[in-house]
Chain A
Amino acid sequence: MAATKGFFTDTTLCIGCKACEVACKQWNQLPDDGFLFSGMSYDNTVHLGGSTWRHVAFIERPVPLSTQDEGAFSWLFSSDVCKHCARAGCLESCPTGAIIRTEYGSVYVQPDICNGCGYCVVSCPFGVINRREEDGRAWKCTLCYDRLREDLIPACAKACPTESIQFGELNQLREHARERVEQLHERGMQEAYLYGASAEDQPGTEGLNAFFLLVDKPEVYNLPPDPVAPAKKVKEAWMAAGAAAAGMALTAIAAVLFGGRRV
């Protein structure tokens, strides 16, 4: 098994060029999203989905960055992607075993197995995977599995002109990311922090294989502040179901014992 690979997306380096979105569409031969105008800054893809595996968010803030000399406005860009969680909600919920973990530690949907039940869609705490109606199956980022097999790096990371998207072995990426945060702090950008870099940072997902460097609250980037793989909480629901089932059986027996007699 190869070492766990992943992305480190440094949003402070992102210039919002969308080369990653284009490279992803092009390499993976995904259909377009309709070329619509959303009215939200320069973001016309809006959200990750069945045929959108990279999405650049454009955040127009009426607040300056701490390193900014003038102006009361800052513009944040962030290229969002499937996080390939160490504990993945979609993978755990998949009833057919179509969603697997690959030798690179990524989460992969096998299109020849998926039957389109839609359970992964509601199980992803980030709203990444989605079912495409025309196709009927669930789709998401594959971490360019086909490219990794040929020792190439994913198309988005390859296309990124500023190295905002960095691809590599997860351990090295984490180390590098921590250095980068320190560097930014030294430069006065105190708000820089890592999102989902380790299991301690994000216990609900036990760490993301695609983690981020952010400079504002996760909500600003449409990321959940404390996501959790739903199956971590399922025990309580099963216990309630057990109690309900037992109650139902007891009621049925009581009804048979006391209801059948003529009064």
Chain B
Amino acid sequence: MSPTVRYRNSVDPVYTDGRDIDPEVGELAGEGAGQQSSGSIDKHLKDEMQVWRNLPMPQPGDSTYYDVPMLNEPAWGWAIPTYYYIGGLTGAALVLGAAAQIGDTRRREKLIRRCHFIGLTGACLSGALLVYDLGMPSRFINMLRVFRPTSVMNIGAWILTGASGAAFFTVALRGRKSWLGVAGEICGYLAGLFGAGLATYTGVLTANTAVPAWQASRKALPVLFGTSAMSSVGALFELTVENAEERRLTKIFGAIGQAAELASSIAMEKQARAVPRVGRPFARGLSGFVWRSAMALTAAGFVLGLIPKPARSRRLAAGVLGTLGSALMRASVEHIGTASARDARASFQQQRAGYGAAELVKREN
């Protein structure tokens, strides 16, 4: 990387790559020598070096380090919550498609195809979003060089691979004559299996972290993500499908999903609030606003959807509200995690309240 000018407006601007090693004198060979650096400082300093809003005054008994974050905040950008939404939609659509394959399918053929199509498109989009968010996108394939059950992300990579493969083959083969059709049929069921994993593992991935708010809500997060995936499928069908027969079916699926999504949102917040400081991002700041808005949108979509025989406009409104609610919920979970990671006191108070390793030790005894 080429060096940059630092402190441009100062009387003494510096031209540096952050290392200033003269290649004629020193060779770049250290453990960190491969680290790319242009010398620009705003690229790696996030909020750590913020200007003080009020000066920290140490108090006896006030146990923090200048209220500096203890954890490093999630490095994930917008692509990850978007993936949570798209991946959830994909997974739930594949589950619904597989369920619709059971029994007499003549009247449901269109629905099944649509579900599989959503599954295939969604899986491709999901992969693209995940690769985009990597620090080294060209190395995405490294995810699949090992199978590591301890890493939820590794399992997720395999689930997504399985789901996209199964979705591809069912779209390509289902309905053909001879054994090919049978293989396509089986792939449809397989895709449903992978889909159920795809819609819920992201909740496990988020919960399996040191971020206090996420870790505290580990029993609710996978359920919330799964139910929200169901409601997003319902909402998408409300928006895009005109066939009333198909919609009746997806409506039941979506409405149950929405009700369960609201219930698990409340459960998640309650779990996190077991330690008040940990529950703070659910109620305060941008994260709290987005979280509450997502809940309100989902609730509004749910109520609007309950009206029997709605006009087209009202139906579309319900679809838009449901989609926004689901998508925003994923975004808010990301915001909550960032806010929680920035709050060292949340970690400290959580662990002091017995929700660190003490929780596990207690259970073993």
Residues of A within 8 Å of B157, CB to CB, are 95
> Quick check: is B191 within 8 A (CB to CB) of the other chain?
no
Q: Is there contact, CB below 8 Å, between A259 and B151?
A: no
Would you list which residues of chain A between 105 and 141 have a CB under 8 Å from chain B?
111, 113-119, 121-139
User: Which chain A residue lies CB-closest to B155?
Assistant: A95
Q: Is there contact, CB below 8 Å, between B55 and A204?
A: no
| Contact among A96, A126, A128, A240 for B219, CB-based, below 8 A | A240
Q: Is there contact, CB below 8 Å, between A36 and B41?
A: yes
Taken residue by residue from 215 to 250, chain B's Cβ proximity to chain A (1 for < 8 Å, 0 otherwise) reads as 100111111011101100000000000000100111
Residues of B within 8 Å of A122, CB to CB, are 71-72, 74, 209-211, 214, 337, 341
- Give the A-binding residues of B (Cβ under 8 A): 1, 6, 16-19, 21, 26, 28-41, 43-45, 48-49, 52, 55-56, 58-60, 63-66, 68-76, 92, 95-96, 98-100, 102-103, 107-108, 133-137, 139-140, 142-143, 145-146, 148, 150-154, 156-157, 192, 196-197, 199-201, 203-205, 207-211, 214-215, 218-223, 225-227, 229-230, 245, 248-253, 256-257, 260, 337, 341, 344, 347-348, 351-352, 356-361
- Knowing A31-B18, A94-B151, A245-B226, the reply to whether A252 touches B210 (Cβ < 8 A) is no
Q: Which of A94, A125, A144, A241 has the most CB of B within 10 A?
A: A241
- Knowing A95-B151, A251-B230, the reply to whether A225 touches B352 (Cβ < 8 A) is yes
Q: Is there contact, CB below 8 Å, between A28 and B352?
A: no
A231 to B186 alpha-carbon distance, docked (Å): 34
Taken residue by residue from 7 to 51, chain A's Cβ proximity to chain B (1 for < 8 Å, 0 otherwise) reads as 000000000000000000001111111101011100100110111
Residues of B within 8 Å of A71, CB to CB, are none
Q: Is there contact, CB below 8 Å, between B142 and A98?
A: yes
How many contacting A-B pairs (Cβ < 8 A)?
374
A-B pairs, 3 with minimum CB distance? A116-B135, A136-B135, A204-B357
| Contact among B43, B99, B148 for A94, CB-based, below 8 A | B148
- Knowing A47-B68, A92-B151, A252-B96, the reply to whether A34 touches B34 (Cβ < 8 A) is no
A27 to B21 alpha-carbon distance, docked (Å): 12
- Knowing A29-B30, A31-B18, A33-B45, the reply to whether A57 touches B65 (Cβ < 8 A) is yes
Q: Is there contact, CB below 8 Å, between A233 and B45?
A: no
- Knowing A127-B69, A226-B356, the reply to whether A93 touches B208 (Cβ < 8 A) is yes
A249 to B98 alpha-carbon distance, docked (Å): 9
> Quick check: is A6 within 8 A (CB to CB) of the other chain?
no
- Knowing A204-B356, A248-B226, A249-B192, the reply to whether A114 touches B35 (Cβ < 8 A) is no
Q: Is there contact, CB below 8 Å, between B344 and A121?
A: no
- Knowing A117-B153, A134-B44, A230-B209, the reply to whether A146 touches B31 (Cβ < 8 A) is yes
> Quick check: is A3 within 8 A (CB to CB) of the other chain?
no
Q: Is there contact, CB below 8 Å, between B55 and A51?
A: no
Interface residues in A, total, Cβ within 8 A: 108
Q: List 24 A-B contacts (CB under 8 A).
A: A28-B30, A29-B26, A29-B28, A33-B45, A46-B48, A46-B68, A53-B32, A59-B65, A95-B146, A95-B151, A95-B154, A113-B145, A114-B142, A117-B153, A119-B151, A123-B210, A129-B72, A130-B72, A224-B351, A227-B210, A227-B356, A237-B219, A245-B226, A251-B256
User: Which chain B residue lies CB-closest to A141?
Assistant: B31
Would you list which residues of chain A between 230 and 252 have a CB under 8 Å from chain B?
230-234, 236-238, 240-249, 251-252
> Quick check: is A1 within 8 A (CB to CB) of the other chain?
no
Name which of A60-68, A161-169, A176-184 contacts chain B: A60-68
A111 to B229 alpha-carbon distance, docked (Å): 36
A28 to B211 alpha-carbon distance, docked (Å): 29
Q: Is there contact, CB below 8 Å, between B357 and A118?
A: no
| Contact among B49, B52, B76, B248 for A118, CB-based, below 8 A | B76
Q: Is there contact, CB below 8 Å, between A131 and B34?
A: no
| Contact among B58, B71, B253 for A252, CB-based, below 8 A | B253
Q: Is there contact, CB below 8 Å, between A245 and B197?
A: yes
- Give the B-binding residues of A (Cβ under 8 A): 27-34, 36, 38-40, 43, 46-47, 49-51, 53, 57, 59-63, 89, 92-98, 111, 113-119, 121-139, 142, 144-146, 202-205, 216-217, 219-228, 230-234, 236-238, 240-249, 251-256, 258-260, 262
A51 CB, nearest partner CB in chain B, Å: 6
- Knowing A116-B134, A119-B153, A247-B260, the reply to whether A31 touches B146 (Cβ < 8 A) is no
A220 to B228 alpha-carbon distance, docked (Å): 40
Residues of B within 8 Å of A144, CB to CB, are 31
Residues of A within 8 Å of B52, CB to CB, are 39
| Contact among A50, A53, A111, A241 for B200, CB-based, below 8 A | A241
A60 to B56 alpha-carbon distance, docked (Å): 11
- Knowing A240-B220, A252-B95, the reply to whether A97 touches B146 (Cβ < 8 A) is yes
Q: Is there contact, CB below 8 Å, between A251 and B139?
A: no
A122 to B43 alpha-carbon distance, docked (Å): 19
User: Which chain B residue lies CB-closest to A240?
Assistant: B222
Q: Is there contact, CB below 8 Å, between A260 and B351?
A: no
- Knowing A94-B151, A241-B203, the reply to whether A31 touches B68 (Cβ < 8 A) is no
A220 CB, nearest partner CB in chain B, Å: 5
A254 to B139 alpha-carbon distance, docked (Å): 42
Residues of A within 8 Å of B17, CB to CB, are 31
Q: Is there contact, CB below 8 Å, between B35 and A240?
A: no
Q: Which of A118, A124, A130, A204 has the most CB of B within 10 A?
A: A118
Give me 12 other A-B pairs in contact (C-beta within 8 A), A29-B21, A114-B136 excluded: A29-B32, A31-B37, A95-B143, A97-B148, A118-B74, A127-B72, A139-B32, A219-B65, A224-B70, A237-B204, A247-B227, A252-B100
